[in-house]
Amino acid sequence: MTQFGMDRSTGLRQSGWDNVIQAIEILLTTRYFERVLREYVGSPVPALLGELANVQTVIRFQWSVAAVILLFEPRFTPTRISPLTLDRTGSSD
């Protein structure tokens, strides 16, 4: 079943893969209790962004991304979440 939505930057109708990407982006950037009518929708990802980039934080980040997508986005199933190799400036080569 195709779901339709609205592109949040242009206001135009949106469907298919673009709509899935937008939904995941919204999920990963929304804190819990931020939405008025859906307090249960959100993720711990925004809270993790300011923490130290150590192994524990990376594992919590990977788990958070996978759990939020599995819980709230039925059109996509993550199979692997792999961190990139970054240098001190955040560049991935």
Q: How would you write the pLDDT of the chain (93 residues) with one tens digit per residue?
A: 667 888 888 888 888 888 889 989 999 999 989 888 988 889 999 999 888 878 898 899 999 999 999 999 999 999 998 877 777 776 766
What is the pLDDT at residue 49? 87
Domain ranges of the chain: 4-72
SS (H, E, C) the chain: CCCEEECCCCCCEEECHHHHHHHHHHHHHCCCCCCCCCCCCCCCHHHHCCCCCCHHHHHHHHHHHHHHHHHHCCCCCCCCCCCCCCCCCCCCC
What is the pLDDT at residue 45? 93
What is the pLDDT at residue 93? 64
Which value, in Å, is the radius of gyration of the alpha carbons in the chain?
15
What is the pLDDT at residue 82? 85
Can you tell me the distance from the alpha carbon of 19 to that of 93, in angstroms, rounded to the nearest whole number? 29
